[in-house]
Amino acid sequence: MKQLFPSLQSICLMVMAAGALASCSQSKQQAQAHPNIVFIMTDDHSLQTFSTYDDRFIKTPNLDRIAQEGAVFRNSFVSNSICSPSRAVMLTGKHSHVNGQVHNGCVFDGSQQTFPKLLQAAGYQTSLIGKWHLRSLPTGFNNYDILVGQGNYYNSPFITNGDTLPTDGYVTNVITDKSINWLEHRDKDKPFCLLVHHKATHRIWQPDTALFNLFKGVDFPVPDNFFDDYEGRQAAAEQNMSVIKDMDLVYDLKMLDKEGDIKTKYRKAYEGMLNGLTPEQRAAWDKEYEPVIKAFKKAGLSGKELALWKYQRYMHDYLRCVASVDNNVGRLLDYLDQQGLADNTIVVYTSDQGFYMGEHGWFDKRFMYEESMRTPLVMRYPQKIKPGTEYNQMVQNIDYAPTFLDLAGVKVPADMQGQSLQPLMTSEQPQWRDALYYHYYEFPNEHMVKRHYGIRTNRYKLIHFYNNIDTWELYDLANDPKEMHNLFGQKAYDSLVDSLKQQLHALQVQYGDTITSTY
């Protein structure tokens, strides 16, 4: 006789299946309720070489796309313009003196609170791929695949969840490959936070051989303060980061002549880097640079002519590294589109600080001056940000951690010193800061930039250089945006200086900075 009713076993199986489907559906709905995060950061990428901000030197269509489809922050700054401290600030949402990473020589305390740990505790899958540069191993990540120290531009080994493994290829491409591969194999029932941290555009600016034809024959405009005499600015005069006198012909500019006539401080270090190239890579490298070396030696340049030649060589290689970053950001954005992830994914692009493209005659960063204190910041999040949005409020890298947590629906700890950027997205008149605090500690070091701290308002900047020096600088950014004229000590500005010093002290109290010289 045919069974008219399902057996008890069948009923149980159906209930279990329905429960599993409901659980799966609930899990996917939960993942959708929490936005994914892709945080892309480069090293030393200047505002001047990102065409959303400045299109004199290069077009960056893929980076521009993030701004066009989301928002550009026109006044984005760091709190300590140097690599490791800036990374620690972003992770913790706290100034350097609080998180302990005051300079590159410190070892980051991985036991402390970071935004990846808090996201992980809230159910996020977290991954870090690329440059870490904090000496300790990463914590708070389900997966990490990081460069050893600074890493190399070519064939760089990676530490993959504790194991050091070789890789082949150009590092910007490799980091993107690894990022996309992780996205492919992640747990797709959970929201994710992926940190994609590139080595580029860090010194010594080794381009991808595939981009050697880019900018051939191009002469880039020279900053009008390239031959700055640093009048009235003692700390600026005593630095060692000048294109003219400190940029190494071999190490930085690739003039490794076979005859050995060009003897420089870092020649052997550069030779060591080239030894890491494959025969095919080395052949392409020599084909590009040997004619340049030959022409340089024949020209016999000196003085201003040599300085200007060095500037052009620097710009060519640096900008080729920027182009590679832009291409790879495009690859990552395309992947998010193809996988249907774009609508529910926050994409952020920034750099750990700004950089000098010959302004004041410099390369590198460190100073509280605009070129190094400013950093690019663009963000795309269709659920909160309308395409083409511009924010003019002063934001700082202490704000990144609270922003990621806030947008993810995770409570922002009270001890984080930054502000979530979400109110800028949701309020027409958000309450916002009117001044920024900055403190740089790494002296003495190779570039010999003095220790200093200061305050920046919408119009003025007051800086105190201390430790083995005691000088103050005041700039009116409205009338002197290139910071060439130190107004400190002029009687007409005494009351302004008094007011700024009071504001500066209030910020030091607010952030708990006691200004010691023991670091």
Q: Can you say how many angstroms the Cα of residue 40 is from the centroid of all Cα atoms in its chain?
A: 8
**pLDDT value, residue 401:** 98
- Say how many CA atoms lie within 13 Å of 412 toward its Cβ: 23
φ/ψ of residue 125, rounded to 5? -90, 125
pTM over 0.85: yes
- H/E stretch holding 73: strand 71-73
**pLDDT value, residue 27:** 42
> Cα(first)–Cα(last) distance of the chain, in Å?
89
Could you report the per-residue pLDDT of 256-267, keeping only the tens digit for each? 999 999 999 999
**pLDDT value, residue 32:** 60
Q: How far is CA 397 from CA 34, 76, 103, in A?
A: 23, 8, 16
Matching residue, tokens 């020599």? 286
Q: How far is CA 150 from CA 83, 84, 173, in A?
A: 10, 10, 16
Are 422 and 61 in contact by the 8 Å Cβ rule? The answer is no
Domain boundaries, the chain: 33-206+318-434, 233-312
Burial class from Cβ neighbours inside 10 Å (0-12, 13-18, 19+) for residue 479 reads: exposed
Beta-bridge mates of residue 154: 170
**pLDDT value, residue 516:** 62
Matching residue, tokens 């590139």? 198
Query: Which tokens in the block code for residue 43?
Result: 């090293």
Torsion angle in degrees (nearest 10) through CA of 442, 233, 469, 437 = -50
Tell me how far apart the alpha carbons of residues 44 and 47 are, in angstroms, rounded to a whole number.
9
**pLDDT value, residue 6:** 46
Are 406 and 93 in contact by the 8 Å Cβ rule? The answer is no
**pLDDT value, residue 194:** 99
Could you report the per-residue pLDDT of 100-128, keeping only the tens digit for each? 999 999 999 999 999 999 999 999 999 99
**pLDDT value, residue 66:** 98
**pLDDT value, residue 429:** 82
Tell me how far apart the alpha carbons of residues 246 and 233 are, in angstroms, rounded to a whole number.
19
Query: What is the mean pLDDT for each group of 10 consecutive residues in the chain (519 residues)?
Result: 44 45 43 86 98 98 98 98 98 98 96 98 98 97 97 98 97 98 97 98 98 97 98 98 98 97 97 96 98 98 98 98 98 98 98 98 98 98 97 98 98 98 90 97 96 98 97 98 98 98 98 73
User: What is the CATH code of the structural domain delimited by 33-206+318-434?
Assistant: 3.40.720.10
Under DSSP, the state recorded for 159 is E
- H/E stretch holding 10: helix 8-33
Q: How far is CA 410 from CA 108, 337, 503, in A?
A: 24, 26, 32
Tell me how far apart the alpha carbons of residues 454 and 70 are, in angstroms, rounded to a whole number.
32
Are 420 and 402 in contact by the 8 Å Cβ rule? The answer is yes
- H/E stretch holding 396: strand 395-396
